[in-house]
Structure 1
Amino acid sequence: MPTPTTLDDWLAHCERLHLRSIDLTLERVRRVHERMAIRFDAPVFTVAGTNGKGSTCAMLEAILQQAGYRVGVYTSPHLVRFEERCRLAGRIVEAAELLPHFEAVEAAREGDALTYFEFTTLAILRLLAASTLDAVVLEVGLGGRLDAVNVIDADCSIITSIDLDHVGLLGNDREAIGREKAGILRAGRPAIVGDPVPPASLIEHAREIGADLRLAGIDFHVGGDKQQWGWAGRARRHPGLAYPALRGANQLLNAAGVLAALEAMHTRLPITAQAVRNGFALVELPGRFQIVPGTPTLVLDVAHNPHATAALAHNLDAMGFYPRTHAVFGAMADKDIDAMLARIAPLVDRWYCCGLPTARAANAEDLARRIAAVPNLPIASETSTHASPSEALAAALEAADPADRILVFGSFFTVGGVLRHGLPKQGAKHLSAGAGRTA
């Protein structure tokens, strides 16, 4: 096969190398990683969890940048372009910057059949290691213990929330999933746990290996009112903070974990109180309870499991009154779709089910059947099916009144499909402007 010359060619090559898209083991990726000799001089934060990883990475990045540090970030998946997975000093990398690192992974493979995620992760890790950085933030793709990101020994690990997702790969209860997440922890190094009720398995593993375990509600605390909030850790305090620019009540849990991580790393990365304030005020993350200006009100959220959908429903309920809520919905077939729908269906008056451009996706007709089976639907609830998120959104815009609300959710592919094609009529300029800051 000729050597790929473009990023698209390399990504197509990565998709062909392994028979399975997910193969949870570190053996192959660790061998290639050692051949490549990827090493970081800057402190590394690794972030795992069922939900909240992207938001945590974005807040860490924003605060560190406001403190004057040059930060490299790796997150996944992307919404529109692959390049969004890597940022250097707040800038999304260009495709040309990635090419030599894809070539280096290919040269080091020596026949090892890496998955798409493993190959691309190693390429981005090499790019980050080759850059002049003061801090590195890495988001775990799936689980923790056997995720490709875990070939790196993090200086500080953060676990956001733990709930049921990917049960076929990680286990069918929180204890099993907690053990997998705990695999990113390292002996003697800070281990931040933002989940207010963490599984016993996670705590046991942290104590067994001698990690510097820091638990929400024990080692750091939050409190506040409608106007402001405060945080207190082992030795530092941040009173009178404005709420993070990222919307949603769940973001406070993520913000608290970020401050705990920064406290744990303060001797290597000193942070001022003003950097904290500015970072929370300026952080951006498309697709996480993102409200697009204009009428009707448009909400974009990548919620793709029951835990995230429950948080989305809570946030929607707090928005106030709308005559009708229209929902553009596309989801992966391996998700607990029925549990997702049970949490949010009472808030939706009309559904626009859509197909997604991946073999893992549930088809629109199946989604419509599942919606029809949900008990306690609003009396006037209607459902239609569409080939893509952009077509579903066009139908929702056509049917919605200016005072209504349109929700786009269910998968990164659903929100990404809207961002990729833009919006017909109102709102398109806001989406295209926000698409560049993706985590």
Structure 2
Amino acid sequence: MSHPSFNQPSSLEGWLQYLESIHPSTIDMGLARTQDVFARLKLDFSQITVITVAGTNGKGTTCTFLEQALTQLGHSTCVYSSPHILDYRERLRCDTQMLSEAAHCQAFARVEQARGEISLTYFEFGTLAALVLIAERQPDFAILEVGLGGRLDAVNILDADIGVITTIDLDHQDWLGNTRELVAAEKAGIFRQNGVAVIGDAQPPANLPEIVSKLNLDASWQGKEFSYRLEDGRFYWQSHAGISLCGPRPAIPAANVSTALCVLERLGKLPSLDVERLLSEVKVVGRCQMVGEHPSVLVDVAHNPQSAGYLLEQVQGFSAKQVHLVVGMLKDKDIQACLLPFTALSPNWYLAPLGGPRGASSKMLADLLPKGQKVLECQSVKHAYQQALQNAQAEDLVVVFGSFFTVAEVLEPSVQ
């Protein structure tokens, strides 16, 4: 069905504004509407190996490692992930490249025609458009990152050949529940009866093994079927099948590399992989990314306690004379649990507000820090970043974190 009165946008920006206008809420959990439109689109995924990746943290890095490994082996890939940092087109990479704005516009038009009277959220519409583009290209592998949860996420309309859970922690409690067990049940929704599963959380919630057993999954668990260790700047990986690999310590979390290597083992791809080269080259935009030196500048999208804890470990590995923290966060995050561990560094804090109804003010952040911290409340992320750079000495470290929005403001070309 088409919309006779609908003036089709002529640009990607126009389409994105339209997507924001057509549904009353950003999140509307449930798959029925998306499944109906997907059926109307008649997309063929029968020849594509689908890997779906869920988890609280580590989804993006796991997807990127899989993408770079499969590319090295000569396979065609499409990776769908969210959110983007600077450019909407970042959400879909085909053979490691973004597609043209025109390609995205054509896919949006196809979804618009197919949806008829069915209401779709921004994320659902975007996911269906990405699936249109993937189906058109027929890659060997489609690697799909779950946006929120798993069971009711739009990505879950496809049956995965391998379902992956990276980590399970508390985030998005309003939608996923306030215990790790409730979160695990939502994320395990990506699994299918008798399917293949890889679980990267070495300390999974107690109910996850029960769910895996009930679904009769062929599951590989971090710490059981596969494991890793870091020693003297090297990464070592072992599987129960007897495969041992090693290489330089990667720039992304080792636990996610370990999980991705198990997925590659399940696909039968490990014997041909140049792990040494892959581990030395793999990196992900916005994840422990170095963007400056003298002073060193590290940016990371960490926005929940687990990811903030990992970032703190990385920061402690620097021999910085003084640490300067540029922070902007959303108020529906556990702000205090993210920030308090960093007080041990005796840092200089540069706190910035984020816009929109979900953004926390700089005062809100400051009020959650203990008395006696060196705090500067700034009018914007850009202002906070500029103040930090101005105050930092050459041997200091500036760290920008707290949200995708925070990192995006610093990575904009005009700010560098």
Is TM-score (shorter-chain normalized) higher than 0.5?
yes
Work out the number of aligned pairs and report it: 410
2:160 equivalent in structure 1: 154
RCO higher in 1 or 2 (8 Å CA, sep ≥ 6)? 1
- Does residue 253 of the first structure (1) align with residue 258 of the second (2)? no
Identity %: 38
Are residues 92 and 326 of structure 1, via their aligned partners in 2, closer, same or farther at CA, if it must alter by over 3 Å? same
Matched, 1:140 2:153: no
CA distance in 2, matches of 1:273, 1:407: 38
| Equivalent residue number for residue 122 of structure 1 | 128
Structure 1 stretches lacking a partner, 5+ long:
429-439
Segment drifting more, 190-199 vs 311-320: 311-320
Corresponding position of 1:433: none
State the match for 1:306 in structure 2.
305
Q: Tell me which amino acid in the other structure corresponds to 2:257.
A: A
Q: CA deviation at 1:229?
A: 2.7
Contact 2:163 2:196 in 1 (8 A): yes
Q: What are the Cα deviations for residues 270-314 of structure 1, in whole angstroms up to 9, with x where unaligned?
A: 344443333222222111111224211111010001111111111
Q: Is the 8 A contact 1:144 1:180 kept in 2?
A: yes
CA contact (8 A) 1:105 1:122 kept: yes
Cα offset for 1:169?
0.7
Q: Any idea what SS the aligned residue of 1:64 has? A: helix
Shift of 1:56: 0.3
- Once the two structures are TM-superposed, the CA of residue 413 in structure 1 deviates from its matched residue by 0.3
1:118-267 equivalences under 5 Å are 118-246=124-252, 251-266=253-268
Shift in alpha-carbon separation, 1:224–1:418, aligned structure 2, 3 A: closer
Runs of 4+ in 1 over 6 A off after TM superposition: none
State the match for 1:357 in structure 2.
Answer: 355
What is the Cα deviation at residue 236 of structure 1? 4.9
> Of residues 15, 21, 25 in structure 2, which corresponds to 1:16?
21
Residues 30-429 of structure 1: pairs in structure 2 closer than 5 A: 30-40=35-45, 41-246=47-252, 251-266=253-268, 270-320=269-319, 322-371=320-369, 374=370, 381-423=373-415, 428=416
Q: CA RMSD in A?
A: 1.6
Distance 2:355 2:124 in 1: 21
What is the aligned partner in structure 1 of residue 3 from structure 2?
none
**CA-to-partner distance for each residue in 1:361-386, whole Å, 9 max, x for gaps?**
11222222222xx26xxx5x322222
| Counterpart for residue 435 of structure 1 | none
1:3 alignment partner, one of 3, 8, 18? 8
Q: What is the TM-score when the length of structure 1 is the normalising length?
A: 0.90
Q: For 1:299, what is the secondary structure of its paired residue?
A: strand
Deviation at 1:166, TM superposition (A): 0.6
CA distance in 2, matches of 1:358, 1:64: 39
Q: 1:302, 1:410 within 8 Å by CA — same for their partners in 2? A: yes
- 1:241 is displaced (CA, Å) by 2.2
Q: CA offset at residue 110 of structure 1?
A: 1.6
* Paired AA for residue 53 in structure 1: K
CA pair 355-282 structure 1, distance change in 2 beyond 3 A? same
Shift of 1:407: 0.7
**Matches of 2:284 and 2:234 in 1, distance apart?**
21
Residues 355 and 361 of structure 1 are in contact (CA less than 8 Å); yes or no, is this contact kept in structure 2?
yes
Any idea what SS the aligned residue of 1:352 has? strand
Counterpart Cα distance in 2 of 1:293 and 1:176: 40
How far apart are the structure 1 equivalents of 2:222 and 2:183?
Answer: 19
* Contact map agreement 1:238 1:273 (CA 8 A) in 2: no
